[in-house]
Amino acid sequence: MRAIRTIVIVAVVLAGLFVAADRAAVYFAENQAAEKIRSSQGLSGTPDVSIKGFPFLTQVAASELEQVDVKLDGITAGTGDRSVKVSGFDAQLHNVRIDSSFSSAVAGRATGTAHLSYEELTKAAGDPGVSVAYGGKDGAGRSQVKVTGKVMVMGQPLERSVVSTVSVVDGNTVRVRADEVPAQGIPGMERKVREKTDFDRQISGLPKGLKLDKVVTTPTGVDITLTGTDVNLAG
């Protein structure tokens, strides 16, 4: 009985040491991965990386992680005066293939969400006289925004607001288009209004392989769903 008790105690101690070593390895790997993603993607902040699954060391031995969650607030997407700040970036990466030095990481499949406030969407319009606000949904459930801008009519500034549909184009662009522009019989009115209210803005700087899937309006901004395959995280 004493021998059995001793074996059990040793087994428990060894298991505890393995778990401790495994968790320490995860902590180190998460920090390394976060820094690698930050530097390789040119991010302004360091993401919060969480590696799922146990044990971690056996996943490393197989060079594939079951799931890695990445969170970051305040990504600057785009360049120059076309850049916008994307908040609430949250991605779930599955079947992440890695090498022993974590110098490369490719997710077989990825899903995620990001939030773009109306303040940032207003900046994306590229015109200081244009503002974007919540517009709810139409009868078909399409996400809409209210876009307001000023146009010159017969030498006088005239403010017009339109209800616009927000959509995703080509997997990397947010498109805003007015559903209807009342011309009120004024020649060229619709064209002038659309020059102010209709715009496309590309969300660049995302990891290669990650694409915009759809966009939904909320009272505080637009929620963007992201999907991807073979997403390059560290190169």
Question: pLDDT higher for 229 or 43?
Answer: 229
Check whether 12 has a pLDDT greater than 50: no
Give the pLDDT confidence score for residue 146 in this predicted structure. 87
Torsion sign over Cα 57, 101, 107, 213 = positive
Give the pLDDT confidence score for residue 66 in this predicted structure. 82
pTM of the predicted protein model: 0.74
User: For 162-196, how does the pLDDT look when each residue is reduced to its tens digit (9 = 90+)?
Assistant: 888 888 898 888 888 888 877 666 667 778 888 88
Using pLDDT thresholds of 50, 70 and 90, give the confidence band for residue 8.
very low
Which of 84, 71, 78 lies closest to 34, judged by CA? 71
Q: What is the mean pLDDT of the chain?
A: 76
Q: Are 154 and 186 in contact (CB under 8 A)?
A: no
Give the pLDDT confidence score for residue 153 in this predicted structure. 67
CA atoms of 70 and 126, how far apart (whole Å): 30
Using pLDDT thresholds of 50, 70 and 90, give the confidence band for residue 6.
very low
User: Nearest 5°: CA angle at 135, between 200 and 151?
Assistant: 60
Residue 82 amino acid letter: R
